[in-house]
Structure 1
Amino acid sequence: GADWIHFDVMDNHYVPNLTIGPMVAAALKPHCIKPDGTKVPLDVHLMVQPVDALATAFADAGADLISFHPDASTHVDRTLQLIRSKGCAAGLVFNPATPLDVLEWVIDKVDLVLIMSVNPGFGGQSFIDSALRKTERARRLIDASGRDIRLEVDGGIKADNIRRVADAG
């Protein structure tokens, strides 16, 4: 019954944790469908370094969207082009202390922006309030671009802060 599958991939290099790989995504992909036959997007968030080889592997495994952290890619523009050339939507992920500057230079190649509201790598962390300002700024950049770019916020979202996050954009 899910409307969206968000798949976190960690490599024990970019973040200090190790999770699942392309084979699990490929095994999951046939099940990304609702009982009425509607396809459910498989959204792969890469917390890995380097990015390109795993982005390609996840595209081949059936990912619909692939996002990565700009500081994990040697050439952000090239990585975005690679992901889109594989038929996937491409996204950028910004850690709590990472500025949005790079987004202004590649927004024409971005389909998704993910603002991390915790430091990536471990679940159960508390929401970092400065993510609200970053979300507001990302929303302004997206709106100014005139493009239909999905904006996500990830980490520490709970009943007591979800309204503030939604209001931020």
Structure 2
Amino acid sequence: MSFDRNLKIAPSILSADFANFGAEIEAVEAQGADWIHVDVMDGHFVPNLTFGPPLVKAIRKHIKTVMDVHLMIAPVDPYIDAFADAGADVLTAHLEAGPHIHRTLQAIRGAGCKAGLALNPGTPIDAVDHLLDMVDLICVMTVNPGFGGQKFIHSQIAKVEKLRAMIGDRPIHIEIDGGITPETAPLMRAAGADVLVAGSAVFKGGSVADPAPYGANIRAIRTSCDTLV
């Protein structure tokens, strides 16, 4: 998994057909997805319950790109090895999920994954200042975590602009998760983001039997950012 700042679109399987994950992943990758985003929720840190390590392991063989696993769980540390063993390429933990995020990031890298750090909308960007040398990705939540299909929180644009300045030339991805559409994508791309997570905006209108809308939706997001390059 090499680093670059080219735009990457990461469909969230939270919006896919739960009964057909393998085929959905293969379809959306064939239609132009760069990464696959897997939202793990525990019903405790966030008010929803989704997937555990066995499901992540089961879908790994269907993913040819990057498996980007977002842990919206607390505590995080007891589950790092299980999700790493399941095949995560990137493992992202929330800064707010526990008192020792530095230790958590060390453990993620120690398990052989790229280390991601997620920030809720209410968390100030200065909180990452002393963690920049520990991370490979910072995920800025542009909705409150827990559910797909929420509206984009515009106050996070300034946060991403500040984060991009803080990162400088460090090889750290800036990922945006929540409310990404062809209307909001260029705002975040202009602010400095290079990974855009999109759920309903990618999967709407399509299916495994008719995957062409997935490609059209991905192209619409990508094209909305093209004028900024």
Normalising by structure 2, what TM-score? 0.68
Q: Would you say 1:154 and 2:177 are equivalent positions? A: yes
2:154 corresponds to which residue?
129
Task: In structure 2, list runs of 5 or more residues that go unmatched.
Answer: 1-29, 193-229
Cα distance, 1:74 vs. partner?
A: 2.3
From 48, 59, 77, the equivalent of 2:84 is 59
Alpha carbon RMSD of aligned pairs, Å? 1.0
Task: In structure 1, list runs of 5 or more residues that go unmatched.
Answer: 34-39
Q: Kindly name which structure, 1 or 2, has the bigger radius of gyration based on alpha carbons.
A: 2
Structure 1 outlier segments of 4+, above 6 Å: none
1:37 corresponds to which residue?
none
2: CA distance between counterparts of 1:71 and 1:155? 17
1:42 corresponds to which residue?
67
From 20, 40, 44, the equivalent of 1:9 is 40
1: CA distance between counterparts of 2:79 and 2:71? 8
Report the AA paired with residue 141 of structure 1.
Answer: M
Percent identical across equivalent pairs?
Answer: 52
Q: Would you say 1:31 and 2:62 are equivalent positions? A: yes
Q: Would you say 1:117 and 2:148 are equivalent positions? A: no
SS in 2 for 1:66: strand
2:49 corresponds to which residue?
18
Q: How many residues matched?
A: 161
User: 2:136·2:173 contact (CA, 8 Å) conserved in 1?
Assistant: yes
After the TM superposition, which residues 63-74 of structure 1 pair with which residues of structure 2 at under 5 Å, given as runs?
A: 63-74=88-99
Cα distance, 1:101 vs. partner?
A: 2.4
CA deviation string 1:38-63 (max 9, x = no partner): xx111110000001112221011110
Cα distance, 1:73 vs. partner?
A: 2.0
Cα distance, 1:123 vs. partner?
A: 1.1
Report the AA paired with residue 52 of structure 2.
Answer: G
Cα distance, 1:71 vs. partner?
A: 1.2
SS in 1 for 2:74: coil
Q: Which structure has more RCO (C-alpha within 8 Å, separation ≥ 6)?
A: 2
Report the AA paired with residue 46 of structure 2.
Answer: V
Normalising by structure 1, what TM-score? 0.92
2: CA distance between counterparts of 1:100 and 1:161? 20
